[in-house]
Amino acid sequence: MKKTCICPECKNQIDLSRYPDIKEGLVIECNFCGITLEVTDIVGENIVTEIVDEGK
Ligand SMILES: [Zn+2]
Protein backbone atom coordinates (compact mmCIF):
# COMPACT_ATOMS: atom_id res chain seq x y z
CA MET A 1 0.00 0.00 0.00
CA LYS A 2 1.30 3.41 -0.92
CA LYS A 3 1.40 5.75 2.03
CA THR A 4 0.81 9.44 1.78
CA CYS A 5 1.81 12.33 3.95
CA ILE A 6 0.77 15.95 3.65
CA CYS A 7 3.23 18.46 5.01
CA PRO A 8 1.58 20.41 7.86
CA GLU A 9 3.62 23.45 6.95
CA CYS A 10 3.30 23.86 3.17
CA LYS A 11 0.41 21.43 2.50
CA ASN A 12 2.27 19.64 -0.27
CA GLN A 13 2.37 15.88 -0.49
CA ILE A 14 5.76 14.73 0.66
CA ASP A 15 7.68 12.31 -1.56
CA LEU A 16 8.07 9.21 0.59
CA SER A 17 9.78 7.07 -2.02
CA ARG A 18 13.15 7.52 -0.31
CA TYR A 19 11.79 6.19 2.95
CA PRO A 20 11.19 2.49 2.34
CA ASP A 21 10.51 1.62 5.96
CA ILE A 22 8.11 4.15 7.45
CA LYS A 23 7.27 3.68 11.09
CA GLU A 24 6.60 5.71 14.19
CA GLY A 25 9.58 7.75 15.26
CA LEU A 26 11.06 8.03 11.78
CA VAL A 27 12.24 11.52 10.96
CA ILE A 28 11.43 12.68 7.45
CA GLU A 29 12.04 15.90 5.61
CA CYS A 30 9.60 17.78 3.42
CA ASN A 31 11.05 17.98 -0.08
CA PHE A 32 9.16 21.23 -0.70
CA CYS A 33 9.84 23.47 2.30
CA GLY A 34 12.63 21.50 3.99
CA ILE A 35 10.92 21.21 7.34
CA THR A 36 11.79 18.25 9.53
CA LEU A 37 8.93 16.02 10.65
CA GLU A 38 8.68 13.02 12.93
CA VAL A 39 6.20 10.27 12.22
CA THR A 40 3.93 10.01 15.25
CA ASP A 41 1.25 7.68 13.94
CA ILE A 42 0.20 5.77 10.87
CA VAL A 43 -3.52 5.52 10.20
CA GLY A 44 -4.22 3.32 7.23
CA GLU A 45 -2.30 4.92 4.41
CA ASN A 46 -2.12 8.32 6.05
CA ILE A 47 1.01 9.21 7.93
CA VAL A 48 0.58 11.54 10.88
CA THR A 49 3.55 13.77 11.58
CA GLU A 50 4.70 16.29 14.08
CA ILE A 51 7.04 19.18 13.36
CA VAL A 52 10.46 18.66 14.88
CA ASP A 53 11.69 21.90 16.34
CA GLU A 54 15.36 22.18 15.61
CA GLY A 55 15.59 25.72 16.81
CA LYS A 56 18.27 26.45 19.33
ZN1 LIG B 1 6.57 21.28 3.50
Q: Which tens digit of pLDDT belongs to each residue from 22-56?
A: 999 999 999 999 999 999 999 999 999 999 986 66
Residue 21 to residue 40: CA distance in whole angstroms? 14
Q: Please tell us whether the domain made up of 1-56 is placed in CATH 2.20.28.160.
A: yes
pLDDT at 53: 80
| Helix or strand holding residue 40 (H, E) | strand 36-43
Residue 26 to residue 19: CA distance in whole angstroms? 9
Which band of pLDDT confidence, cut at 50, 70 and 90, is reported for residue 11?
very high
CA of residue 6 to ligand 1 center, whole Å: 8
Exposure string over 31-55, b if 16+ CB within 10 A, otherwise e: eeeebebebeebeeeebebeeeeee
CA of residue 9 to ligand 1 center, whole Å: 5
| Exposure of 47 in the CB half-sphere (CA atoms within 13 A) | 28
